[in-house]
Structure 1
Amino acid sequence: MNVGWIGLGKLGAPCALALQHLAGHDVLGYDVRRQDVERLFADPSDHGEEGFGALIELGPLKLAHTIGEVVAHADVVFVAVQTPHAPAYGGETPMPEERRDFEYGYLIQAVRDVCRAAADQAKPITLVVVSTVLPGTCNKHLRGLLNPFVTLVYSPLFIAMGSTLKDFREPEFVLMGADSPESLAPVAAVYAALHDRPVFRASIETAELIKVAYNTFISMKIVWANTMMEICHKTGADCDQLVNALTLATDRVISPAYMRGGMGDGGACHPRDMIAMSWLAERLNLSYDLLGQMAYAREAQSGWLADLTERWAEQTGFDIAILGKAYKPGTALTAGSPALLLAHQLAERGHDVVLWDAPVDSRMDLTEPAVFVVGTKHPANTSLKFPPGTVVLDPFGYMPDQPGVTVIRVGRKS
Structure 2
Amino acid sequence: MNVGWIGLGKLGAPCALALQHLAGHDVLGYDLDRARVERMFSKGGDYGEQGLADLIDRGPLKLAHTVGEVVAHADVVFVAVQTPHAPAYGGETPAPWERRDFEYGFLVQAVRDVCRAAAEQAKPITLVVVSTALPGTCNKHLRGLLNAHVTLVYSPLFIAMGTTIADFLQPEFVLMGADRPEHLDPVVEVYERLHGRPLFKTSIESAELIKVAYNTVISAKVVIGNTIMEICEKTGADCDEVIDALSLATDRVISPKYLRGGMGDGGACHPRDLIAMSWLAERLELSYDLLGQMTHAREAQSGWLADLTVRWADQTGLPVCILGKAYKPESALTAGSPALLLAHQLGERGHKVIHKD
Q: TM-score, normalised by structure 1?
A: 0.62
Q: Distance in 2 between matches of 1:198 and 1:227?
A: 34
Q: 2:102 corresponds to which residue?
A: 102
The amino acid across from 1:3 in the alignment is V
Give, in angstroms, the shift of residue 86 of structure 1. 0.2
Within 1, Cα distance between the matches of 2:253 and 2:69?
49
Answer yes or no: is the 8 Å Cα contact 2:84–2:103 preserved in 1.
Answer: yes
- Paired residue type of 2:109: Q
Residue in 2 that maps onto 1:198:
198
Greater percentage in helix:
2
Aligned residue in 2 for 1:26 = 26
- Give yes or no for contact 2:67–2:113 (8 Å, CA) kept in 1: yes
Distance 1:135 1:45 in 2: 33
Alignment partners' CA distance in 1, 2:252 and 2:90 = 32
Cα distance in structure 2, aligned partners of 1:143 and 1:155: 15
Does residue 86 (structure 1) correspond to residue 86 (structure 2)? The answer is yes
Q: CA deviation at 1:97?
A: 1.0
Is 1:249 aligned to 2:234, yes or no?
Answer: no
Q: Which residue of 2 aligns with 1:178?
A: 178
Within 2, Cα distance between the matches of 1:155 and 1:41? Answer: 26
- 1:175-216 CA-partner distances (Å, limit 9, x unpaired): 000000000010011110112111001110100000000011
Q: Alpha-carbon deviation of 1:9?
A: 0.2
Deviation at 1:142, TM superposition (A): 0.1
**Matching residue of 1:222:** 222
Distance 1:37 1:302, change over 3 A: farther
Equivalent pairs, count: 261
Q: Is the 8 A contact 2:46 2:53 kept in 1?
A: no
2:163 corresponds to 1:163: yes
Asked whether 1:46 is paired with 2:46, we answer yes
Give runs of ≥4 in structure 1 deviating > 3 Å: 301-304
Counterpart check, 1:63 vs 2:60: no
Task: Compute the displacement of 1:302 (Å).
Answer: 11
Give the Cα–Cα distance (whole angstroms) in 2 for the partners of residues 211 and 195 of structure 1.
18
Partner of 1:132: 132
Q: Is the 2:44–2:57 Cα contact (8 Å) retained in structure 1?
A: no
**Counterpart amino acid of 1:87?**
P
Q: What amino acid is the match of 1:95?
A: A
TM-score by length of 2: 0.71
Q: Deviations over 1:85-131 (max 9, x none)?
A: 00000101111011100000000000000000000000000000000
Q: What is the SS of the residue equivalent to 2:78?
A: strand
Q: Which has the higher contact order (CA 8 A, sep 6+)?
A: 1
Over residues 353-397 of structure 1, what are the superposed CA-to-partner deviations in whole Å (9 max), with x where a residue is unaligned?
xxxxxxxxxxxxxxxxxxxxxxxxxxxxxxxxxxxxxxxxxxxxx
Distance 1:245 1:117 in 2: 57
* Residues 130 and 154 in structure 2, CA contact (< 8 A), matched pair in contact too: yes
Q: Which residue type is aligned with residue 123 of structure 1?
A: K
Residue 236 of structure 2 aligns with which residue? 236
Amino acid at match of 2:164: T
1:373 is matched with none
Q: Secondary structure at the match of 1:28?
A: strand
Match of 1:116? Answer: 116
Secondary structure of the 2:250 match is coil
Question: Which residue number corresponds to residue 2 of structure 2?
Answer: 2
Tell me if the contact between 2:2 and 2:26 (Cα under 8 Å) persists in the aligned partners.
yes
Compute the RMSD of aligned alpha carbons.
1.7
- Report whether the alignment pairs 1:188 with 2:182: no
Letter in 2 for 1:9: G
- Distance 1:203-1:302 versus aligned 2 partners, 3 A rule: farther
After superposition, the Cα gap between the structure-2 partners of 1:165 and 1:118, relative to the gap in structure 1 and judged at 3 Å, is: same
Partner of 1:154: 154
1:142-183 per-position Cα deviation (integer Å, ceiling 9, x unaligned): 000000000000000000100000000000000000000000
Q: Structure 2: how far apart are the matches of 1:190 and 1:254?
A: 33
How many angstroms apart in 2 are the aligned matches of 1:211 and 1:250?
Answer: 23
Identity, % of aligned positions: 78
In the aligned structure 2, how far is the partner of 1:198 from the partner of 1:175? 9
Q: How far apart are the structure 2 equivalents of 1:12 and 1:302?
A: 41
**SS state at 2:50 partner:** coil
C-alpha separation in 1, matches of 2:252 and 2:75: 43
The letter of the residue matching 1:66 is T
Write out per-residue CA displacement over residues 221-272 of structure 1, whole angstroms, 9 at most, x where no aligned residue: 00000000000001111110011111111111126xxxxxxxxxxxxxxxxx
Show structure 2 runs of 5+ residues with no match: 256-284, 289-357
Gapped regions of structure 1 (runs ≥ 5): 256-300, 305-414
* Equivalence map 1:282-321=2 (5 Å): none
Q: Distance in 2 between matches of 1:66 and 1:45?
A: 23
**Structure 1 residue aligned with 2:77:** 77
Q: Distance in 1 between matches of 2:169 and 2:40?
A: 21
* 1:303 positional shift: 6.3
Q: 3-state DSSP class of the match of 1:46?
A: coil
Aligned-partner SS, 1:176: strand
Mean Cα deviation higher: 46-55 or 220-229: 46-55
Q: Which has the larger radius of gyration?
A: 2
Query: Offset at 1:62?
Result: 0.2
For 1:21, the aligned partner's letter is: H
| Aligned counterparts, 1:262-411, within 5 A | none
Match of 1:11 in 2: 11
Greater Cα offset, 127-136 or 186-195: 186-195
2:45–2:56 Cα contact (<8 Å) kept:
no
